[in-house]
Structure 1
Amino acid sequence: MATDVIVPTLGESITEASVGQWLKQPGEAVAADEPIVALETDKVAVEVPAPVAGVMGEQMFQPGDTVTVGALIARILEGGAAAAPAPAPAAAPVAAPVAAPAPVVEAPAYDAISPAVRGLIDTYNLDPASISGTGKDGRLTKGDVLAAIEAGTARVKSAAVAPVAAAPVAVAAPAARREERVKMTRLRQTIARRLKEAQNTAAMLTTFNDVDMSAVIEARAKYKDHFEKKHGVRFGFMSFFAKAVVLALKDVPAVGAAIEGDEIVFKDYADLGIAVSSPGGLVVPILKDAQAKSFAEIEKQIADFGERARKGTLKIEEMQGGNFTISNGGVFGSLLSTPILNPPQSGVLGLHRVEDRPVVRGGQIVVRPMMYMALSYDHRLIDGKEAVTFLVRVKEAIEDPARLLIDL
């Protein structure tokens, strides 16, 4: 008896996905509720579990194929037995003892690696055996590959070493130049479409300011150890900026509003999109009701977003909604940028790296840790005066954090 596996509901307004990777192959035993296939939607990866225990049967689609919600994607054979491995042949008698060969490290089966991860490995010409997998059954994820590249532990593929010959070895000719075409992931296609949509729809403009980070750095240095000990999370800068944005949105509510048809929708809450990096690209989970959260609650949720973004386990509903976004390009070393709106939002705050710069204070040139801030906004809804006022409110709150506590 076979049980059909159907593509489940993937989230509001999402009707299709791509097959990213089969986690079980035909003939393999499957437990009930065990993930058998990973689907890639416009926003996140979704694992589809087996409805019953049995043996993996027919697979209707290949990695990279598009599937729709409700489609038959595979079948599970109930009561079947997994294919048993072939018995090893009996060892032939050895006439004389010989030296044992050096152990061989078994590399992950190349065909078992998802197309997205395989494309990344091929791009950098990496040896999969040099990378530890953290996915299901030790499978490699994009996060594993990127982490290994960043740590310098990923090895480049090399040809097997040939026996030393008496004759000199001829120098190989330079490898021919080559090009490779890799299909864009659904997430990258969605990012491209939405960014272009924002440029085509909104009257986008960016205003800049700089902020002296001395007070925030001093407060963080003074309390970070006690904060981490008490709350179990690192005390970063993002909670200060989230709180400052909440304060600024109260003074300039148009920045958190949205245009719907011929109406402007004002909101009395702050659902902040926090842009985080994932192996498939930038994703923006929503920090809901930031106006009601403490510093510790904000830091914990942002840390959780970042961790699950790297693992690809963010839920679709966690990235829906939001009425303002904060994007911190400074973690990658960016000095200045013009962030693009995340429709239908009307504002996005870009943060950048902190660096010591000479500034004038009290008629004297002094060195201060400065950061450039950029506010991109929809000029159809927000006037220049409102945009500048909003950015000044954020600057004032960061340079005098006591304002965050007494709501000034």
Structure 2
Amino acid sequence: MSIEVKVPTLGESVSEATVGQWLKKPGEAVALDEPIVSLETDKVAVDVPAPASGVMGNYVAQEGDTVSVGALLAMIEDGVAAAGGAAPALRTEAPVAPASDTIAPKADAAAPKGDDAAVLSPAVRRAVLEHGIDPSTVKGTGKDGRLTKEDVLAAAQAKQAAPAAPAATAAAPIPAAAPTAPGRNEERVKMTRLRQTIAKRLKSAQETAALLTTFNDVDMTAVMEARAKYKDVFEKKHGVKLGLMSFFAKASVLALKDIPAVNAQIQGEEIVYFDYVDISVAVSAPNGLVVPVVRDVDKLSFADIEKAIANYGKAARDGTLTMADMAGGTFTISNGGVFGGLMSTPIINPPQSAVLGLHRIEDRPVVRNGEIVIRPMMYIALSYDHRLIDGREAVTALKTIKEAIEDPTRLLIDL
């Protein structure tokens, strides 16, 4: 008997996805609930689990195909894995030759076999296939010696650094639009669905909203001194590092409560005001920028905020963010400073009306009490939809954030 593998429900308002990568090849054994294919939606990558144990059959949808919810992806055939986890050959009436063309030779060589497949997480398996790494040749640093994604990436970097074989130079020439001189190659890669969606949303924000950005600078002395003083005891007590984001999240709450329009949205001909603060935190993931939401920030402690952000960051790197993690949000914080950015004009995350941009901290000369002193300074930016937020409100909100960061006591007494 054959079992159908179909596109699952992907979340509210999401009706289709793109087949990103097959994690199982035809003929391989699959276990119940084992991820067999990764789908790319407009927001996140979703691994589809096997609905039953058996042997992977032929693919119905190929990598890069657009599929709708409920569409047939593949079949799982009856069969029992042989000793050591190897899959028996498929029956002759189900030839697999056509499907084998959909798997790159690199992925074939790197596909985990036997017991290795059972212990690899979906993120690790995806990294193994993507980089062409044989997991049996990599020493795992995870629990019980298991491979982590970082182990695979380190092995891939070492592999790239090794001298290439002469034959490898001639193989698989990079496609180019026109003949190029030696050493001037071009590579064409199809945009992922996530990247296409990011492009559409950002362009739509520019075309729809009346975008404007206001700037200020912040003296980070007080926050940096507080972190230096309490970071060890904070981490010992809460099991997470005390970062900057919790300070700026709490400062943003003060601003959004004082200036409700910055925490509001335009929906049709109505303005919706929220009495809660759900902050979207921009996180860089392998496939592009994602914005998971930390909910009810106005009710969370510093430790709760840091834990939520840390968990989302790990999930983004591992490719395990869900649609629910991304849904909603009333305000966004984007920290370009981690990449060294000095100043930027961030774009709002529709349908939100404002986004706070953070930047790098650097020592600069400033005047204090009539004297020139050196202080750790950061430029901050608030981009906002001028259709809803007036300039006075935007400047006041950003000034509130600045004052709270420069005097963190304000965060404790709600001032």
Using structure 2 for the length normalisation, give the TM-score.
0.81
Q: Conserved in 2, the CA contact under 8 Å of 1:228 and 1:235? A: yes
Match of 2:160 among 155, 160, 168: 155
* SS of match in other structure, 1:305: helix
Deviation per CA, 1:220-265, whole angstroms, max 9, x where unpaired?
A: 1110000000000011010000000001101101001001111111
1:83 aligns with 2:66: no
Which letter maps to 1:360? V
Q: Conserved in 2, the CA contact under 8 Å of 1:341 and 1:376? A: yes
1:220-231 counterparts in 2 under 5 A? 220-231=227-238
- What is the rounded CA distance, in whole Å, between the counterparts of 1:398 and 1:208 in structure 2? 15
What fraction of aligned residue pairs are identical, expressed as a percent? 66
Report the structure number with the largest CA radius of gyration: 1
Q: Conserved in 2, the CA contact under 8 Å of 1:52 and 1:78? A: no
- What is the rounded CA distance, in whole Å, between the counterparts of 1:72 and 1:120 in structure 2? 24
Over 3 Å counting, the alpha-carbon distance change for 1:182 and 1:119 in structure 2 is: farther
Q: CA deviation at 1:178?
A: 2.2
Q: Conserved in 2, the CA contact under 8 Å of 1:9 and 1:70? A: yes
Q: CA deviation at 1:399?
A: 0.4
Question: Which residue matches 1:71?
Answer: 71
Over 3 Å counting, the alpha-carbon distance change for 1:199 and 1:20 in structure 2 is: same
- What is the rounded CA distance, in whole Å, between the counterparts of 1:40 and 1:188 in structure 2? 10
- What is the rounded CA distance, in whole Å, between the counterparts of 2:217 and 2:357 in structure 1? 11
Q: Conserved in 1, the CA contact under 8 Å of 2:217 and 2:377? A: yes
Question: Which residue matches 2:194?
Answer: 187
1:7-406 counterparts in 2 under 5 A? 7-79=7-79, 82-83=87-88, 109=108, 128=133, 153=158, 155-156=160-161, 158-160=163-165, 175-406=182-413
Q: Conserved in 2, the CA contact under 8 Å of 1:352 and 1:371? A: yes
- What is the rounded CA distance, in whole Å, between the counterparts of 2:235 and 2:302 in structure 1? 12
Over 3 Å counting, the alpha-carbon distance change for 1:62 and 1:118 in structure 2 is: farther
Q: CA deviation at 1:80?
A: 5.2
Q: CA deviation at 1:156?
A: 3.8
Which stretches of structure 1, 4 residues or more, deviate above 3 A after TM superposition?
107-114, 116-121, 127-135, 138-141, 143-149, 156-159
Q: Conserved in 2, the CA contact under 8 Å of 1:119 and 1:182? A: no
Over 3 Å counting, the alpha-carbon distance change for 1:359 and 1:129 in structure 2 is: farther
Over 3 Å counting, the alpha-carbon distance change for 1:247 and 1:132 in structure 2 is: farther
Which letter maps to 1:19? V
Greater mean alpha carbon deviation, residues 29-38 or residues 236-245: 29-38
Which letter maps to 1:155? Q
Which letter maps to 1:184? M
Which letter maps to 1:367? I
* SS of match in other structure, 2:298: helix
Over 3 Å counting, the alpha-carbon distance change for 1:299 and 1:23 in structure 2 is: same
Q: CA deviation at 1:153?
A: 4.2
Aligned residues: 365
* SS of match in other structure, 1:392: helix
- What is the rounded CA distance, in whole Å, between the counterparts of 1:133 and 1:21 in structure 2? 25
* SS of match in other structure, 2:275: coil
Q: CA deviation at 1:53?
A: 1.1
- What is the rounded CA distance, in whole Å, between the counterparts of 1:120 and 1:31 in structure 2? 22
Q: Conserved in 2, the CA contact under 8 Å of 1:22 and 1:37? A: yes
- What is the rounded CA distance, in whole Å, between the counterparts of 2:111 and 2:20 in structure 1? 11
Deviation per CA, 1:41-84, whole angstroms, max 9, x where unpaired?
A: 11111111111111111210111111110001111112455326
Which letter maps to 1:47? D
Question: Which residue matches 1:170?
Answer: none
Q: Conserved in 1, the CA contact under 8 Å of 2:213 and 2:383? A: yes
Using structure 1 for the length normalisation, give the TM-score.
0.83
- What is the rounded CA distance, in whole Å, between the counterparts of 1:308 and 1:217 in structure 2? 27
- What is the rounded CA distance, in whole Å, between the counterparts of 2:341 and 2:35 in structure 1? 39
- What is the rounded CA distance, in whole Å, between the counterparts of 2:61 and 2:36 in structure 1? 13
Q: Conserved in 1, the CA contact under 8 Å of 2:110 and 2:133? A: no
Q: CA deviation at 1:343?
A: 0.3
Q: Conserved in 2, the CA contact under 8 Å of 1:195 and 1:340? A: yes
Q: CA deviation at 1:109?
A: 3.7
- What is the rounded CA distance, in whole Å, between the counterparts of 1:327 and 1:69 in structure 2? 32
Q: CA deviation at 1:180?
A: 1.6
Q: CA deviation at 1:119?
A: 12
Which letter maps to 2:2? A
- What is the rounded CA distance, in whole Å, between the counterparts of 2:355 and 2:139 in structure 1? 35
Greater mean alpha carbon deviation, residues 74-83 or residues 379-388: 74-83
* SS of match in other structure, 1:227: helix
- What is the rounded CA distance, in whole Å, between the counterparts of 2:195 and 2:228 in structure 1? 38
- What is the rounded CA distance, in whole Å, between the counterparts of 2:413 and 2:351 in structure 1? 31
Over 3 Å counting, the alpha-carbon distance change for 1:273 and 1:306 in structure 2 is: same
CA RMSD of aligned residues (A): 2.9
